[in-house]
């Protein structure tokens, strides 16, 4: 996984708070159950195909779009994210936090499809939105990192990674596996800047966190090797 992509989807896959439709609370409750897998999300959306689209449909599309982007299917991710935004904007204001995830996914998909100008437009829109939740700040920072890295703006990318780490520490996630992956990505930025000693310190800290975290085996196996090879 490339350093710029490490932060894309560190958040939990389900974020259903505040999205329950007053008309169909049971349906949204089922979404929370099915949203743990891509197959579950597709099954939910298929079951809703012949009915009216509501906020729950929009959230399901947003969650599936995020999974598609992680899998590298950016054309499908873009399509689902655009549909999600169109549906949610019928119910919520355009600066509501429920739109942050699909906007983020759309920006990532556009970026990967070579449409960096479109990605930057969405990034600027996200920066103008009121972002108060820790998880939402992570998403905005992660998009900033991707754009700065792509433009060779490594000092700016470094600042964004540090902002994410500070955000994680403030929200009690400073020793989580997610924090370890962020530190690994920060080490790669340090390498690009020629700051090898800083990179080594970041990797050592990441290793310490990931060795303690119960859910971090994959991160240890797949994320640390490239940076470690470059610095040791």
- The alpha helices in the chain, defined as continuous H runs, are 25-34, 38-47, 55-70, 74-88, 100-112, 116-128, 134-150, 154-170, 177-193, 196-212, 217-222, 224-231
Domain locations along the chain: 1-130, 152-232
Q: How does pLDDT run across 47-74, given as a tens digit for each residue?
A: 878 777 888 889 899 989 998 998 899 9
Which residues are within 8 A (CB) of 166 and not within 5 positions of it... i.e. 6 or more apart?
none
Q: Is the dihedral of CA 160, 163, 165, 171 positive or negative?
A: negative
Q: What is the pTM of this model?
A: 0.75
* Residues contacting 120, CB < 8 A, separation 6+: 147
- CB-based contacts of 7, cutoff 8 Å, min separation 6: 138, 141, 142, 145, 161, 164, 181, 182, 185
**CATH fold of the domain at 1-130:** 1.25.40
Q: In a 3-state reduction of DSSP, which class is residue 119?
A: helix
Residue 192 in this model has a pLDDT that exceeds 80: yes
| DSSP class of 129 | S
Q: What is the pLDDT of residue 229?
A: 44
The CA distance from 83 to 11, in Å, is 21
CB–CB of 139/101 below 8 Å? yes
> What is the predicted pLDDT for the residue at 231?
43
C-alpha to C-alpha distances, 199 to 23, 187, 190, 205, nearest whole angstrom: 52, 4, 5, 10
Could you report the per-residue pLDDT of 80-123, keeping only the tens digit for each? 999 999 999 998 999 998 999 999 999 999 999 999 999 999 99
Please tell me the distance from the alpha carbon of residue 42 to that of residue 56, in angstroms, as a whole number: 13
């Amino acid at each position: 996984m490339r350093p710029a992509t490490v932060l894309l989807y560190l958040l939990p896959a389900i974020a259903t708070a505040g999205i329950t439709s007053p008309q169909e609370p049971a349906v949204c409750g089922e979404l929370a159950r099915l949203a743990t897998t891509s197959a579950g999300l597709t099954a939910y959306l298929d079951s809703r195909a012949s009915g009216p689209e509501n906020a729950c449909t929009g959230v399901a599309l947003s969650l599936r779009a995020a999974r598609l982007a992680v899998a590298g299917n950016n054309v499908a991710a873009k399509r689902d994210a655009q549909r999600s935004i169109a549906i949610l904007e019928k119910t919520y204001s355009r600066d509501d936090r429920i739109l942050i995830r699909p906007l983020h996914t759309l920006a990532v998909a556009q970026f990967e499809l070579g449409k960096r100008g479109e990605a930057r437009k969405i990034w600027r829109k996200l920066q103008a939105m009121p972002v108060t939740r820790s998880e939402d700040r992570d998403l905005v920072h992660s998009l900033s990192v991707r754009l700065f890295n792509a433009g060779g703006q490594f000092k700016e990318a470094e600042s964004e990674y540090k902002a994410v780490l500070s955000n994680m520490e403030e929200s009690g996630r400073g020793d989580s596996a997610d924090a370890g992956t962020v530190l690994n990505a920060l080490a790669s930025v340090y390498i690009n800047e020629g700051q090898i000693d800083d990179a080594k310190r970041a990797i050592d800290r990441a290793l310490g966190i990931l060795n303690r975290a119960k859910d971090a085996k994959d991160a240890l196996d797949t994320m640390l090797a490239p940076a470690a090879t470059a610095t040791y």
